[in-house]
Amino acid sequence: DKARMKGIFKNTSKSNSPLVFDYSKYLKFRHIAYQTYVNLDEILITDSRSEPWYSEVRGWAIKQFTENLSSSNVAIASALVLGHRGLIDNDMYDAFAQTGSMHVLAVSGLHVGILSGLLGWILSLIRSNNKGYRFLKTIIILLGIWSFAFITGGSPSVLRASLMFSTLEV
């Protein structure tokens, strides 16, 4: 697959706080002098293969956010819940980066733990000592965890947490 993107290259910006990790210095150490942010609508994929199911689910969720939230909240919600930062405009992205709070926008293992706990709690409301139900409950929780991992893009922290919670569940 080939992709074409449109974006404006900017110098890496220094943090205004002396107590925050200096990302600009880190990038310069890695011989990176410029950066750009590209929105999803600015990316042109030249291969026309169909999207996988989890991309369609992510698109549906973003559509629901768009229909029910204000535009700035859609960007934050899609980043927090789905790990999709494509809707965050450059100014908001820079504001998070300069304040050292970019980690807030990352989907992490905590999200997997919350999902696992929530699914376990909901399924525990159905009281049954049947072994078949316990097996079905485990399968539902594992499907939920791994579906979430794929929908959010499979970042290393989410995959690691999914593996750990799957191990605990089994």
- The pLDDT of residue 138 is 92
CA 16 from centroid of its chain's CA atoms? 27
- The pLDDT of residue 23 is 79
- The pLDDT of residue 18 is 74
- The pLDDT of residue 48 is 57
CA 113 from centroid of its chain's CA atoms? 14
pLDDT per residue as tens, the chain (170 positions): 577 777 778 887 777 777 778 878 888 888 888 888 877 777 777 665 666 777 788 888 889 999 998 877 888 888 888 888 878 888 888 888 888 887 778 888 889 999 999 999 999 898 877 888 889 999 999 999 999 998 888 888 899 999 999 999 88
Query: Which residue from 43, 18, 15 is spatially nearest to 27, judged by alpha carbons?
Result: 15
- Strand, helix or coil at 14? coil
Cβ count near 158 (within 10 Å): 24
- The pLDDT of residue 161 is 93
Q: Are 85 and 105 in contact (CB under 8 A)?
A: yes
- The pLDDT of residue 1 is 59
Q: Are 146 and 166 in contact (CB under 8 A)?
A: yes
Q: Considering the entire predicted model, what is its pTM?
A: 0.64
Residues paired with 35 in a beta bridge: 10
* Nearest-angstrom CA–CA distance, 70 and 87: 12
